[in-house]
Amino acid sequence: MLRTLVPHLVRTAPVRLALTHGPLSSAVIDRFVAGSTDKDAVGAVARLVGEGLRASVDLLGEGASHAQDARDTTEAYLRLLEVAEQAGLAAGLDVSVKLSALGQAVPRDGPALAGANAAIIAARAQELGATLTLDMEDHTTTDATLTVLAQLRQDVPTVGAVVQAQLRRTEGDCRDLARAGSRVRLCKGAYLEPAAVAHQGRSAVAAAYARCLGILLSGPGYPMIATHDPQLLALAGRLVRHLDRPAGSFEYQMLFGVRPGEQRRLAAAGAPVRVYLPYGPDCVPYLSRRLVEKPANLLLALQAASDWPAR
């Protein structure tokens, strides 16, 4: 129910205002978002790298409806890469992009526009020793995103993709993508999807995740295990040992602000851990997904919103 209600709730003016300008800016935004500028983001990358972690930086924003907005986002990613390069942090950095932010939904030639913008970012990332990963949005975009992925990989083979275990199609996608050199981030899926296309319920999604994990870890690709779920992390550890996967052949990924202790514990044990680091002013859609994942986050948000602007 939360996953249905919250996205509607955050679109209302009072909640949106409370989310961006109320006391939530310290209570919730600071926990999940690295800041609003590229310098904030690169500063956060430096702190993570100093602690033995890696980063995938995401410029918040999705659903560009004009080609100019998509171009602006592309330019912003290029500036981010330059700021990272100047700080000596571009090599090994990953940038995560949503094709909707690069113009996928722009009328007429949206998919081609998004693909062309992604190609520009991918090429510059490659020059600097960084990588690009295409985030996955709702199921109506999966085929288009995987098509762009295949095109990008012709010139920049390190471009990575995300698959969502909750989608019924994903075991098949994992089989297709589990190829040498293929970077694949496996997550549960953050979007509310209908039963026709998606497993419903936590245990069905976790079981699907386990099956996809087995497929990816058994293949020659580079799985990126994106979950905070203790049981799935334990399963991943067992599979890695059982399959004798060398440390450089996979990585764990977690979100900035979520189970930071576990991120550091895994890294201290020698596992490669990358933190997904969102930044930018347009944080409401991202935060709404984080709020529904854990009821305690929502309670914190509602409490802060109800106190505001009284204090």
Residue closer to ligand FAD by CB (options 86, 147) is: 147
Which of the following is catalytic: 94, 135, 153, 290? 135
Min dist CB 299 to ligand FAD, Å, is: 12
Report how far residue 148's alpha carbon sits from residue 291's, in angstroms, rounded to the nearest whole number. Answer: 30
Q: Which residue is nearest to ligand FAD (CB)?
A: 228
Helices (H), the chain: 2-9, 13-21, 24, 30-32, 38-50, 67-86, 110-127, 142-155, 170-177, 202-218, 230-242, 260-268, 284-293, 295-307
DSSP conformational letter for 254 = E
Q: Is 79 exposed, middle or buried (0-12, 13-18, 19+ CB in 10 A)?
A: middle
In sequence order, the 6+-apart residues with CB closer than 8 A to the CB of 40 are 34, 279
Binding residues vs ligand FAD (CB under 6 A):
135-136, 162, 164, 185, 187-191, 226-229, 253-255, 258-259, 276, 290, 293-294, 297
Query: Is 173 known to be catalytic?
Result: no
For ligand FAD, the closer of residues 38 and 137 by Cβ is 137
The verdict on whether 264 is a catalytic residue reads no
- Residue (38 or 58) nearer to ligand FAD, CB: 58
Tokens of 226: 């994106």
Beta carbon nearer to ligand FAD, 66 or 294: 294
Residues classed as catalytic: 135, 185
